[in-house]
Amino acid sequence: MSSPKTIVLGVTGSIAAHRAVDLTSLLTKRGFDVHVVLTADAQRFITALPFKSLSRNPVVTDLYDEVDDWQPVHIRLADTADLLLVAPATANSLARLAHGLANDALSCIALALRPGARVLLAPAMNGKMWQHPATSANVAVLRERGAEFIGPEAGLLACGYEGLGRLWNIEEIADRASELLRPSVAGPR
């Protein structure tokens, strides 16, 4: 029996961060080894405890979290990830990933991600932010590097506006993550 595929789930600072708890539960129930990374901004919306309980793994909340072995946690996760899933992905996180900034655990994992690992990004932000030329350029760069996007969807946004920017349905995000990790789609690992 093969070992379960590893998903690093990055959760960034959006009101949709609470939906990542249910996403963690879905992915874990599907048999994935889920490791959650909460950015400092995400921690303004949600705590690590529900993610730890549902994933059955420690939650990374800081680049300098102490680990039991000698290897930095961001390098260990970058080396073992089959999929880096960022949900929700804010405009800030997309910009950081597109420009290779690496001053927190999530961006360091993304920059050190092993060859062959897949990247799935599920944006959530104000519609004007999503449609801004800077965000569009960052999305284009990330797509060119092989990242896949799921969403955002249109609807009533937390800021009170109606438009494109809502986090995609979490069951569909989990479905797409599962599809990307199937051998027939992702190729041999």
Cα–Cα distance for residue pair 52/45, rounded to 1 Å:
16
Task: Kindly name the residue from 154, 159, 179, 185 that is annotated as catalytic.
Answer: 159
DSSP, res 17: G
The DSSP annotation for 94-159 comes to HHHHHHT--SSHHHHHHHHPPTT-EEEEEE-S-HHHHHSHHHHHHHHHHHHTT-EE---EEEE-TT
Q: Is 108 a residue of the active site?
A: no
Residue 183 and residue 116: Cα distance in Å, rounded? 12
- The catalytic site residues sit at 159
